[in-house]
Structure 1
């Protein structure tokens, strides 16, 4: 069978993985990306000497398929281990250490009752036992957890103090999720693979090494915004796009939509009703961060805040400068979910510093003297929200896509897991569906 002409819309991790697999299978693949560079929410950015990530900051080692992918593209040796990652949690009644990967040390968290400490031990053993059934790349692999909020899940099984003093600061600080707004599916599918481990990773040279490696050898048109994908009963799909204000068009036998799910439906005027209904239910949280470049060295520090102590920030980080890499000392101020909502509601997404400045000066009193420059980073769609019931709907959508030959396929972290590994897994799945339905080159 001759190879198909395939257009991939979106050069995030899911789109790049799908494009790589389909190119390897002998298809003619072109990737269209609206941004100036590939990578989506994975990559490195620098503005006026201020360095920051496009979104994702860490790589977890619990996904065998993703680890195999890293080995394939030559990035295994670039992984830098970060062991026993923790932060100081600041509450209204004191400060304590919270670990991003739970261990027996977590039992020392102040404010837990004796019963909660005992339940924590039992919960850890039960969580380990679930490792075989829990797929860390697929939130739908734990369907029982899909029907309950994370807040209720933790409150019932571990206790309210565990939720308030351990889980909630971590989820708000690392993912900007309020536990009452998401299901327990993300936690239930990943926690079994975190217990007993103490290491996460970053890439030597930055997160941008991942999309750079995946993009190698692919035909990618950046700064190309897809406007619409027109399907015809006979003949090719027609993709209308814009580049530098000029209208351009592409024809393809198949299309993979690898954009964020909440914007995908708008590209397809002839989408079937059941698919349109599902995509209308895809939600993302927004994220606001203010980065400050300093003229003096700082000691490393990372803090999370309980909800009562948060004010406008959930995460505060001091990043020392590094002469060897040219990294200037920086401050990282991540808005709380409440402050993010306020900034969006008041039209202040381009003035985030005004939202957090008072709180930042409390945490760093010499800001006005030491700050050389600042940059507000706004990510409109940071992470898909796996709210209660979403996992079942997601699994049904994927099953329909896998069952029948079609012209348009969808992939992205919203169809697997709200992690880099989930995005990669979704791209692999879309490529497998096409291989099964249409064959290879």
Structure 2
């Protein structure tokens, strides 16, 4: 069986078992801000609210907005100081600190996401490089940095993810038969997504398959059940441990090798390569390396099936250097590509060409809604794992913020089929 034998990472058990207490989260205090800056922020926020289909209610009883989902700002001074000093990072931290709230958070954030490109006046947009936060060097996705970045999210706790994911433990967009969706339909929709990717890649009996980004092993299990021989790579020790247990439980461990390995360290040649929502963790600096790796590992005549979250190209160009709340708290080192960026990187650096691309962002909005509702319903169980109220508010904001991106059309999710044309440049 073809494996990624060059991986130098020592395979050990997860460093933090799920039963270990979780350190309480602290939200930074509102940063110091000049009177002038806070006043400008207050005016910009008020101007934005006045033209949005929102209703904002401030602690002193004043209101703003054209009506719609309610936003309650409990501590306007702290809220404006945070937003003025740190933009969207401050906006998210203010929610984590309980300084504002919304009875229907996803609906309120959807309104903001739909108008994201116009929330900040054009003159301030042109000065973005002066006021926007920049990516910390510590989050670069070098081989060492990528392991740290992945661990911060995926090694939180297998038990945590199991509380809001369905039994397939699939942590990517499902593909429903119809919308709107309901919780009982989610496992079948996840399998529909996986099976479509395997079909695109032509995975069947005897296929040598490389998967980059194991998750908790559901795709590897379904590929092996088709008769494929699977090498799957992850940087998460907790995911590796549980995925191995799930593969063994399915009686497929002879067909699946789960390696703790960076994609850059993979070796061998494969008939097919599949990667589901992993490119978002690669970082723009390493997109060429990522796609060159797919190209190099693919046998002549092979296929690559890729699922990727995408953002509009103009927003990528405007925000690529900005440090975001999601990067600070949820996915360090992450960046969403655009369709245009994927086309440019593959065309310039590889022999891979897009043969097919299908978007289904509305399905991700529904997937996230189901996760968010499940997470909320099981808040007591999340707390019992040791995750405090600040963490739960953070995670709720993350799920609602992501849902809003897809529901507004600001974000999309694509399934790609790449084929190989000629030698790699």
Alignment TM-score > 0.5, same fold = no
> Higher strand fraction: Structure 1 or Structure 2?
1
TM-score, normalised via structure 1 length: 0.25
Higher RCO, Cα 8 Å, sep 6+: 1
> Higher helix fraction: Structure 1 or Structure 2?
2
TM-score, normalised via structure 2 length: 0.25
